[in-house]
Amino acid sequence: MEEKEIGLYVHMPFCKQKCYYCDFVSYANKYNIVDRYIQCLKKEIIQYANENKIMSKHGLEQKYVIKTIYIGGGTPSSIDELYIINILQKIKENFQIKNDAEITIEVNPGTVNKEKLETYREIGINRLSIGLQAVQDEILKSIGRIHTFKDFENTYKYAREVGFNNINVDLMINLPNQTLDNVKESVKAILNLKPEHISVYSLILEENTKLYEMVKSKQVALEPEEVERQMYWYVKETLEKYKYIQYEISNFAKSGFQSQHNIDCWNQEEYIGVGIAASSFIENKRYSNISNLEEYMDNIESGMPNKNLILDEVLDFESKMNEFMMLGLRTIQGVDIKKFEQKFKINPIIKYCKILEKLNHEGLIEIDANNIKLSNKGIDLANIVWEEFV
């Protein structure tokens, strides 16, 4: 039997309120269609499973083995836990799941109680990703978050009480009206709780968000890039001092708690995504589902799920190599030279000789016997490095 390990992403596009900075595909006040959407997700899961069964002499056998499941959004924790039970059940019925699979759900403070978290544990979810962003209630309010820091503390406490021992906390920097001192206060409060994993995201001002309009109309101002960099380096150095290993520009973990889901994405491993706007990478093809909710559900319900799929890119050998370099240079360890050679049968230093020489000369990368990685200067100017491999 041919087996292939893959990741599975499930998109839940429901939020209580739209945060002012967020352009993820998620909707406020659409809870009336959750039931219909979940039925569609289940059908999509079955369809993927059926497509990936292969006939052998011994009958129908499965090809895919799931090694990570990531239920993201949106705010998956804001819907009834019965739906999450349903979805995981459907996945288990239709796919083989590795015993040690990492199963994550994104949780917003204020959307779960202890019972809901307990249910998540019971059905096999073993990792929580909690979006905190900042600890100051005025900042949380000013970016449209629905919760206070106290709500976060309660969520975190319940999560520990019901036995979660792998928790990520999301923190954002360079938010409007956020000072370096605010960031220091947030980091201190998070460190006190000792989560296993911390993600730190610099605000990206996305068009089509309320915040974009607020900045454009000068209702709020953002700090210049130097201040944002100061915040970033403060967080990076502090977390490292507290024995968090930085394994990607925005991701820090205690030893052994690096997210497998993240690592696989950067290692160009295969995954499938279900739900609106979810992307998949299978057999060198990158797909994404359409993001229109009604259209997505109509297509599934009328038995035409493939109409939801948009083929974004077919990676030929050359573009696969370029992408491998770009993804590797997001990680702090960098591109593993041996791994590249094994995968593409050429040494990346020979293949990218001119580009690497230039980037090295500009002090943006460092090359040793095993890896090609960003320098400290390269971390600040990572976009310039990545552009070389587009």
Residues that bind ligand SAM (CB under 6 A): 21-22, 24, 72-75, 106, 108, 131, 133, 170, 172, 201, 203-204, 206
> How many residues of this chain bind ligand SF4 (CB under 6 A)?
11
Rounded to whole angstroms, how far apart are CA atoms 135 and 127? 22
DSSP 290: -
Quick one: residue 85, left, alpha or beta (phi over 0 = left, psi -120 to 50 = alpha)?
A: alpha
The yes or no reply on residue 15 touching ligand SF4 (CB under 6 A) is yes
Comparing CA positions, the residue from 13, 85, 100, 4 lying closest to residue 42 is 85
Identify the residue among 8, 10, 12, 22 touching ligand SF4 (CB under 6 A).
22
Nearest approach, Cβ of residue 286 and ligand SF4 (Å): 22
As given in the structure block, the two tokens for residue 76 are 């998956």
The option from ligand SF4, ligand SAM, none interacting with 134 (CB < 5 to 8 A, set by class) reads none
Amino acid type, 308: N
Identify the residue among 42, 49, 75, 340 touching ligand SF4 (CB under 6 A).
75
Residues 6+ apart with CB under 8 A from 221: 176, 215
The yes or no reply on residue 253 touching ligand SF4 (CB under 6 A) is no
Stretch that binds ligand SF4, among 3-11, 13-21, 115-123, 359-367 (CB under 6 A): 13-21
Task: Give the per-residue contact string, 88-117, with ligand SF4 (x = CB under 6 A; - = no).
Answer: --------------------x---------
Q: Tell me the DSSP string of 116-173.
A: HHHHHHHTT--EEEEEEE-S-HHHHHHTT-S--HHHHHHHHHHHHHTT---EEEEEEE
Comparing CA positions, the residue from 65, 25, 19 lying closest to residue 279 is 25
Rounded to whole angstroms, how far apart are CA atoms 249 and 364? 14
The yes or no reply on residue 30 touching ligand SF4 (CB under 6 A) is no
CB atoms inside a 10 Å sphere around CB 192: 8
As given in the structure block, the two tokens for residue 98 are 């590795």
Comparing CB distances to ligand SF4, the nearer of 26 and 289 is 26
Identify the residue among 24, 149, 234, 344 touching ligand SF4 (CB under 6 A).
24
Nearest approach, Cβ of residue 60 and ligand SAM (Å): 36
Identify the residue among 7, 76, 110, 131 touching ligand SF4 (CB under 6 A).
131
Comparing CB distances to ligand SAM, the nearer of 205 and 282 is 205
What SS3 class is residue 310? strand
The yes or no reply on residue 26 touching ligand SF4 (CB under 6 A) is yes
The option from ligand SAM, ligand SF4, none interacting with 18 (CB < 5 to 8 A, set by class) reads ligand SF4
Per CB under 6 A, residues contacting ligand SF4 are: 15, 18-19, 22, 24, 26, 73-75, 108, 131
